[in-house]
Structure 1
Amino acid sequence: AARVITMRPDAELFAWWLADLVLAQSLRWPRPLPLLIAQAFGPAFRREAGGKRIRPGEKDFERAVCLALAQAAADACRLAAELSRRAERLIAVAPKLRAKGAGDVIQRLLDDDAVSGSLTTKNPSRFAARRLFERLQQLEAVRELSGRTTFRLFGL
């Protein structure tokens, strides 16, 4: 990240994304996780509360990277635990659903980050899918993610 930012200061976000990619390859992960890029403007890179950001090449930059990585890993673990609890809740309410194709919708919710509220598959129509998602919300098995009324996204 420091090398890329030194060469191209305007490509800072790309540099952090690239740092996450290099980290994943170094640890032989199948996919990179957005760890450092999520912390790039976080408190680990501040000298003091509200102070200037620590930039590459400056004193304490390596320490800030280590702190940011530790904070990102802790955040990722908390998020994984929350998603696991939500997935268990979704699986637990599945037998309560009588709609055709509910199993397909539940599998999509477990497989994807977000699912359109007007999801159309071979079994539920988009209206039936909308009712199914409303039922899942009532059972607190899914959350509405978009905050919009016209095009809604649901997920764990």
Structure 2
Amino acid sequence: MSYRLLARLEVDEGKLERARRGLGRFLLATDVLDREALPAGEVLKRYKDQGRTVERGFRFLKDPLFFSGSAFLKRPEGVMALGMVMALALLVYALGEWALRRGLAETGSSLPDQKGKPTQRPTLRWVFGLFIWVRLVELEGRPLVLNLAPHHETAVRLLGAGRYYLLE
């Protein structure tokens, strides 16, 4: 027994246009008024590229582990000060992640990702998590670092923290 289906596709332009009109929109604004200097496509590209810059760093504010709801600031100066501290911390974090990724690329090294596969683009948050079981103990008066694997040493060297973990 066999079956055969013969079909023809037709597009209802009226329904398609009504569906397009119902789609959501968002506005992007710029202070560059010359459309030739900054075309609409470039504005959209730059907006989407923000996901790889500072904007991505503020995702942690939505993380329930951050406890952002527990910060009670009464004066505007306190809010501004906290914002400045957070912006500086995010800058340091972004620079550390950039330096680590650049070092991994330049040396051809990699670190394990969440699935154990090698990556040259780890997040700094993930790298910090890799060190959860690394311990500094003192044995007979001498410092000793426990559970330090080769990928830990790679990260430590690239971040310039060798004197703390490798006891150099």
TM range, smaller chain = 0.3 to 0.5
Q: So what's the TM-score if we normalise by structure 2?
A: 0.32
* Structure with bigger RCO (C-alpha 8 Å, 6+ apart): 1
Instruction: Kindly name which structure, 1 or 2, has the bigger radius of gyration based on alpha carbons.
Output: 2
Q: So what's the TM-score if we normalise by structure 1?
A: 0.34
